[in-house]
Amino acid sequence: MKKTADVIIIGGGIVGCAIAYYLTKKGVKDIMVLEGSDSIGHGGSSRNGGGVRQSGRDPRELPIAMAAVQKFWPTLSEELGRDVEYTQKGNLRLGKTEAHMKKLQALADSCAAGGLKLDMISGDEVRKISPYMSEDVMGASFCPTDGHANPLVATLAYYLKDIELGVHFYTGAMVEALEKVKGKVRKVILKDGTVLEGGEVVVAAGYDSRRIINTIGLDIPMTPLVDCALVTEMEPEMFPQMLGTAAADFYGHQTKHGSFVFGSESGLEEFIDVKDPNDMRIQHPATLGASCRAIEGWIPALAKAKIVRSWSGILDMTKDGVCVLGRPKEADGLVLACGFNGHGFGTAPAVGYIIAQTIVGEDPICDINPLRYERFYEV
Amino acid sequence: MEVLKKELIVVGAGPAGLSAAIEAAKNGVKVTVFDENAAPGGQLFKQIHKFFGSKEHKAKIRGFRIGQDLLKEAEEAGVEVVLNATVIGLYPEKEVLVQQGDEVVHYKGDAVLVATGAAENMVNFRGWTLPGVIGAGAAQTMMNLHHIKPGNRILMLGTGNVGLVVSFQLMQAGCEVVALADAAPRIGGYGVHAAKVARTGVPFYLSHTIKEVEGKDCVTGVTIAQVDDHFQFIPGTEKHFDVDTVCVAVGLSPMAQLLKMDGIEMDTSTGGFVPKCDATGATSIPGIYAAGDVAGIEEASSAMIEGRMSGAAIAEYLGYTDSASREKREEELEKSLDSLRQGMFAPKNRGKKIEKTDEGIPISESLLTKGYVADDEITRFPGFRKQAKVHPVIECTQNIPCNPCQDACKKGCISIGDNITSLPISVDGSECINCGMCVASCSGQAIFLVAEDTEPGFGEVTIPYEFLPLPQKGDKGFGLSRSGEKICEAEITNVRSSKAFDGTNLVTMKVPMEYIDKARFYKAQ
Amino acid sequence: MLDIEEKLKEIGPYVPEDDDDLLVCRCEEVTKGEIRQALHSGITTIEELRRLLRCGMGLCQGQTCGTLTRRLVAKELHIKPNDVVLATARTPMRPVDMGVGGNDRGLEEDAVKGGLR
């Protein structure tokens, strides 16, 4: 294998693949992507609900989410030469109680402050948009510019395009440690002992990023959280919106294929003892039942939909709920793109572009200073 | 969270699961068995043929009767069998999610045994998704459980025991089997199973596989063609059959998904289909066991012994027996299992070409490629004997673990010895009393009674017969050769049915003397 | 470790075959040709194949086509079938109606309609 590259990206998820793609667009030729597992997109990239949302985003992340929707998603299928199933038909965040509606209003206000318009609509208006919703739905916030895409295909679409563009990919390439050379992060040591050297080293490895940067004395306060999802068999076309609730008990959408993909959990998942954050097999016995109850409670019409599979993934939950982007001051040569808290898919194209800009020395299209690594350590 | 506590949870009420449940329960373990079907028994109730083995393996008993016995034994042992209960997940701490009716119930076991069996493999030729292309096991379920004829004219792909046994059963159900094809150069299943199909006139096409199944909305025909050593079609070798059904019997894969989802270590040398487990079925997680086909494809007889071994081990794991008594029981069972795993078809011989029997007799090449022993080959086997007076001719030419014929003859006309895979010998000078018990007891339907010169120029051949309508005394028809060819005229001189024969009728036909060693089946005019 | 570039060089470009239109996954109607093309463009695992093409993701969850796919992957990638890793098994082992899944006797009553949180 190659032993050096201008840029070494650790993590073959959608973020890593997107960074590689936009780097090639910026003219960087020699890029190496290291995926620890045997499959590209093995982590959260292929395990999320496919939301491409701006609504509900933290003000620090909102500009990136909006940039993703405005500048990247609409043309992504064309650009990558594969249908990533991007659908921009809005996001409904549903509420059933007064408390829910208050929460939704607060979210709408916060979005408005960031320049994103959300409509507060009544239960009847919700059912006009989507007649399958429960009569219990009191109202919703509706963000017409939100939507969803297929995370499984989108991740691999970036990857396959990267391959065409000459990016060097290695799977089963688990990173053991980073090493500095003359004060600059340069060496990447693999589990099998292979030593690689990169002009720049990008860490985009989900929760495992923490272990990797620990080896050069950096740390991000984050925890691994097991998150679960399920998919039904294909159903007739029912609604094109991305769905979420004020109770945060489920989210998801109907895919182009017809199946429904929903993320949901029982609340007991956070007590799962995650022994290996790279092992995604773990599931909680309460999840399936609680998820079904939640979904059926909002969309009674799906009571007969057959669930064919469920799965789980590991979220990288940071202390303050948003990701870490950019160059840590104390580690020259290192670029971070991790800690996405489960929001990484929708923003991935913009994040990929911004990190590529950071690497080639351009001013990023969004201000990533609030997402800097140092924020955890500033008084 | 409400979780119902159980001592031993068994998933699957097939031969392995039930046997394990019985063995554990007899040692005092409280056992609950879940099965997704409406009736217990797994594959046993589809098995209308007589089983092989020796007495301890329930040889010469039909599979469904073994199933009935197992159910009775389970009931007597106090095993709780819960039906229509689909296990949908196995979680850490041995928690099992079960769909029962319209709800999901959580159970936890101190021990869990997974005995979920296997699923049929498929091959994808052109037209494989047309209605009418079905698994051989599915055809068997249709016929023997639901009493539905799978089709009228059928081609069978696959000559392993499943393909052979189901072909015969299809004919018993009144279907016409037009041919058996197999991409392998040799028949995979027992020769005796092939022979009973071949003698009815069904051709075997070895080194042949399906090129295309034709039809628009359903199967209307099939084309097979010969393949070379690399399984590539040889142009110009196509053969077409008008059929409405194609049965596929190309092997089974363990249904080990439950074990996999619980993170149990799988055997990578088999490609991860089978869990890593010891002789008792203990997996990499203490207290979780696997038995039967899910732990490696064999057949029901060995599955039942494996189940017993797991049951004994679980009883010890749960503290109901000590290791000494478990070891003693295990030894017993291992011996019994070992005797089944001997002979040419033993797991250790899979894929090997066997040239000679244990006795040093060259194997019938014709049997392996055409499904029947050639007339000039049969005489070299010890079951064949010439004698004027009525005597058994045993056309059992491969070392398979089976010996009921030896026990069936009280006159000592048949000898196998202690090694149950030895070829049966038709004993010289013994006194056959024409009782027919050997003919009915042979699970392979390979024993015939032959008598010379019963009338001037004629002799008699008694054959096992399991088809309807049953010929009647005085009926006239044809004697068929081992290959199913009409070779002579034949007249039925005797038809015997008896409870002791267990559904196998003995049909005696009169044939010209020169055909008494060749005529092995009867076809009405 | 797998060097994707090297692997693609080794197996060569996708060359159409006569039976590329043959279905491999009947639940999701995925053909041999689609799978072969994916493998020759950089897909190297069953996990990736399932995500890109949906093969083995239908009602039977690959019970029927798992072995067929594995054989095809092995052939195209020049590896042994037993070295092709099968997909992870997941709950439910059999398709379950959403309504039945939610009718979970193990959950407290107040867990109804809104998760346990």
Q: B401 with B509, same domain? A: yes
Is residue B147 situated within a structural domain?
yes
Q: B114 with B146, same domain? A: no
Counted across chains A and B, CB pairs separated by less than 8 A come out at 21
Q: A268 with A301, same domain? A: yes
Q: A38 with A99, same domain? A: no
Contact between B278 and B285 (Cβ < 8 Å): no
Residues of B with CB below 8 A from A286's CB? 1
Residues of B with CB below 8 A from C22's CB? 124-126, 128
Residues β-bridged to residue B179: B155
Counted across chains A and C, CB pairs separated by less than 8 A come out at 172
Residues of C with CB below 8 A from B131's CB? none
Contact C114 A160 (CB under 8 A): no
As a whole number, mean pLDDT of residues A73-99 equals 97
Residue after which a domain boundary falls, among A296, A316, A336: A316
Q: Locate the chain C residue with the closest alpha carbon to A287.
A: C115
Contact A289 B104 (CB under 8 A): yes
Tokens coding B328: 């003693």
Contact between B107 and B4 (Cβ < 8 Å): yes
The confidence score (pLDDT) of residue C111 equals 53
Interface contact C23, partner B, CB < 8 A: yes
Q: B55 with B28, same domain? A: yes
Q: Locate the chain B residue with the closest alpha carbon to C82.
A: B271
The CATH number assigned to the domain holding A157 equals: 3.50.50.60
Q: A100 with A118, same domain? A: yes
Question: d(Cα A371, Cα A210) in Å, to the nearest integer?
Answer: 16
Q: Where are the domains of chain C?
A: 4-87
Interface contact C94, partner B, CB < 8 A: yes
Q: B172 with B93, same domain? A: no
Interface contact B122, partner C, CB < 8 A: yes
Is residue B485 situated within a structural domain?
yes
Is residue B211 situated within a structural domain?
yes
Q: Locate the chain B residue with the closest alpha carbon to A279.
A: B263
Q: B226 with B260, same domain? A: no
Residues of B with CB below 8 A from C55's CB? none
Q: Say which of A153, A170, A308 has its CB closest to residue C52.
A: A153
Question: d(Cα B161, Cα B191) in Å, to the nearest integer?
Answer: 9
Residues of C with CB below 8 A from B36's CB? 94
Residues of A with CB below 8 A from B92's CB? 282
Host domain of residue A19 = 4-49+152-222+320-377
Contact B126 C22 (CB under 8 A): yes
- CA distances B213 to B166, B176, B260, Å, are 20, 17, 35
The confidence score (pLDDT) of residue B67 equals 93
**3-state DSSP assignment of residue B15:** helix
As a whole number, mean pLDDT of residues C88-114 equals 82
The confidence score (pLDDT) of residue B271 equals 73
B→A contacts (Cβ < 8 Å), by residue, are: 1, 88-89, 91-92, 95, 97, 104, 106, 261, 263
The distance of B138 to chain A (nearest Cα, Å) reads: 22
Q: What is the mean pLDDT of chain A?
A: 95
The confidence score (pLDDT) of residue A177 equals 98
pLDDT digits (tens, 9 = 90+) for A112-125: 998 999 999 999 99
Question: d(Cα C3, Cα B242) in Å, to the nearest integer?
Answer: 50
Share of chain A above pLDDT 90, in %: 91
Contact B97 A285 (CB under 8 A): yes
Is residue B316 situated within a structural domain?
yes
Burial-class residue C90 by CB neighbours within 10 Å (0-12, 13-18, 19+).
buried
Q: Say which of C2, C44, C114 has its CB closest to residue A294.
A: C114
CATH superfamily of C4-87: BFD-like [2Fe-2S]-binding domain (1.10.10.1100)
Residues of A with CB below 8 A from C58's CB? 233, 308
Contact A281 B92 (CB under 8 A): no
Interface contact B324, partner C, CB < 8 A: no
Tokens coding B462: 């008694």
pLDDT digits (tens, 9 = 90+) for A212-264: 999 999 999 999 999 999 999 999 999 999 999 998 889 999 999 999 999 98
The confidence score (pLDDT) of residue A282 equals 83
The CATH number assigned to the domain holding B243 equals: 3.50.50.60
The confidence score (pLDDT) of residue A162 equals 98
Q: A273 with A295, same domain? A: yes
The confidence score (pLDDT) of residue C112 equals 44
Residue C116: pLDDT over 60: no
Residues of B with CB below 8 A from A285's CB? 1, 89, 91, 95, 97, 106
Is residue A354 situated within a structural domain?
yes
Residue after which a domain boundary falls, among B227, B250, B273: B250
Contact C106 A171 (CB under 8 A): no
The residues, any chain, with a CB within 8 Å of residue B97's CB and separated by 6 or more, are A285, A288, B87, B88, B89, B90, B91, B104, B105, B106, C91, C92, C106
Share of chain A above pLDDT 70, in %: 100
Q: A157 with A290, same domain? A: no
Q: Say which of C84, C93, C105 has its CB closest to residue B88.
A: C93
As a whole number, mean pLDDT of residues A316-321 equals 96
Q: A120 with A164, same domain? A: no
Is residue A304 situated within a structural domain?
yes
Interface test with A, best of B91, B260, B284 (most A CBs within 10 A): B91
Residue after which a domain boundary falls, among B225, B250, B275: B250
What's the structural domain count of chain A? 2
pLDDT digits (tens, 9 = 90+) for A57-69: 999 999 999 999 9
Residue after which a domain boundary falls, among A316, A342, A369: A316
pLDDT digits (tens, 9 = 90+) for B33-87: 999 998 899 899 999 999 999 988 899 999 999 999 999 999 999 999 999 999 9
Residue after which a domain boundary falls, among B288, B322, B340: B340
Q: A324 with A218, same domain? A: yes
Residue C115: pLDDT over 60: no
- Which subunits have 3 or more CB–CB pairs within 8 Å of chain A? B, C
The distance of B298 to chain A (nearest Cα, Å) reads: 29
What's the structural domain count of chain B? 3
Contact C88 B261 (CB under 8 A): yes
Distance from the Cα of residue C113 to its chain's centroid: 32
Tokens coding A81: 């030469």
The distance of B244 to chain A (nearest Cα, Å) reads: 31
Q: A201 with A245, same domain? A: no
Contact C98 A306 (CB under 8 A): yes
Q: Which amino acid is at B234?
A: I
Residues of B with CB below 8 A from A290's CB? none
What value of ipTM does the predicted structure carry? 0.94
**Could you state, in chain order, the average pLDDT of each consecutive group of 10 residues for chain B (525 residues)?**
93 97 98 94 92 91 94 96 96 95 96 96 95 97 95 98 98 98 96 98 98 97 97 97 98 92 86 88 97 92 96 98 94 93 89 92 97 97 95 97 95 95 94 96 97 96 97 97 98 97 97 98 95
Q: B16 with B115, same domain? A: yes
Tokens coding A261: 């993909």
Host domain of residue B235 = 122-250
Q: B174 with B283, same domain? A: no
Q: B440 with B494, same domain? A: yes
Residues of B with CB below 8 A from C23's CB? 124, 128-129
The distance of B91 to chain A (nearest Cα, Å) reads: 6
Is residue B208 situated within a structural domain?
yes
Q: B388 with B467, same domain? A: yes
Residue C109: pLDDT over 70: no
Tokens coding A105: 């209003």
If we measure between CA atoms, which residue out of B162, B217, B224, B221 comes closest to residue B193? B162
Distant-in-sequence contacts of A174-183, Cβ < 8 A, 24+ apart: A174/A36, A174/A37, A174/A278, A175/A10, A175/A34, A175/A36, A175/A205, A175/A212, A176/A215, A177/A212, A177/A215, A177/A216, A178/A203, A178/A212, A178/A213, A178/A215, A178/A216, A178/A334, A179/A215, A179/A216, A180/A216, A180/A331, A180/A333, A183/A332
Contact A310 C91 (CB under 8 A): yes
Q: A45 with A177, same domain? A: yes
Q: Locate the chain B residue with the closest alpha carbon to C94.
A: B88
The CATH number assigned to the domain holding A277 equals: 3.30.9.10
Q: Locate the chain B residue with the closest alpha carbon to A292.
A: B104
Q: B309 with B161, same domain? A: no
Q: A340 with A325, same domain? A: yes
Residue after which a domain boundary falls, among A316, A337, A357: A316
